[in-house]
Structure 1
Amino acid sequence: MYQTIILIGNLGKDPEMRFTPGGQPVTTLSVATNRRYNGQNGQPVKETTWFRVTVWGKQAESCNEFLHKGSKVLVEGRLTPDPETGGPHIWENNGKVGASFEVTASTVRFLSGREDQEEAEPAVNTQVPPNLDPSEIPF
């Protein structure tokens, strides 16, 4: 069996990089995708879906160094369901309920222009280390 997801969107905030106790770099990206269409009443509708993307290894370091809030990225990876619900991560903020989908990235490509990223490096294809326990992620 195989699953993959491809996203093109913008970062909603600056990347957050941490290290596992074993020294493995891991960066979290908050990626928003937008869809625009006309509703049944003919009025334009803008729909935003949020994805929390986890990036590992050298690619995590590159994302942390070269990406920033507003950067456009293409992410290839796999959906990671919430262990409690089996679906997206549900959250509440000031009485407003929302959801974000968790994605473990295999590839992140930087799509923003050079004026947005100084000397950007090409994406590096990395996978989650097979021997890493998810409980070791420091967030």
Structure 2
Amino acid sequence: MPSINVCIIMGNLTREPDLRYTPSGSPVCEMALAVNRKSNGREDVTYIDVVAWGKNAENCKRYLEKGSCVMIEGYLKTETWDDRSSRQRRSRLKLVCETLHFISSPRGNTNRASEGSQPPSGPNPPPPPAHPAEYSEGDIPF
């Protein structure tokens, strides 16, 4: 049976993007997003680890900072490893960035011209609906 692994997430960075390079010279940037969701009158926050490679990684470090709002399109990937201290098999889910859209800067920071460049311009994503439909967990078929 075919499967689909596609995610589109929009949220705010919880920390500064961490850009590093692999031994072969490929840029890789790790960051985390906080995604807010209102449900049944309360707000839930989900924290998502994100990894970007290549030009996306370099652009994340160049144009984003803690608090920036960004929309990321990509896929989920599970990382597994053996924990040295507990000797247990550990795993975590990460969102691998394939495309990113710069939505806004952190509050109070209207331009980052001091860094010598502006984020790339392009079409903005459509605004969210004025009155999104409210769904209860019982409405979800899975």
When normalised by structure 1's length, the TM-score is 0.67
What 5-or-longer segments of structure 2 have no aligned partner? Answer: 82-89, 123-142
Q: 1:59 Cα shift? A: 1.3
Between the two proteins, what is the percent identity of the paired residues? 32
Mark the structure with the bigger radius of gyration.
2
- Partners of 1:122 and 1:53 in 2: CA distance: 23
Extract structure 1 runs of 4+ deviating beyond 4 A. none
Contact kept in structure 2, 1:19 and 1:25, CA below 8 Å: yes
2:110 is matched with which residue?
115
Alignment of 1:1-139 (within 5 A): 1-38=3-40, 44-83=41-80, 89=92, 101-112=93-104, 115=110, 117-118=112-113, 119-122=118-121
Moved more, 113-122 or 11-20: 113-122
Q: Which has the higher contact order (CA 8 A, sep 6+)?
A: 1
For the aligned residue pairs, the C-alpha RMSD in angstroms reads 2.6
With over 3 angstroms needed to count, the CA separation of the structure-2 counterparts of 1:103 and 1:122, relative to structure 1, is: farther
TM-score (norm 2): 0.66
Q: Deviations over 1:11-39 (max 9, x none)?
A: 0011000000000000011111001133x
Question: In the aligned structure 2, how far is the partner of 1:52 from the partner of 1:7?
Answer: 11
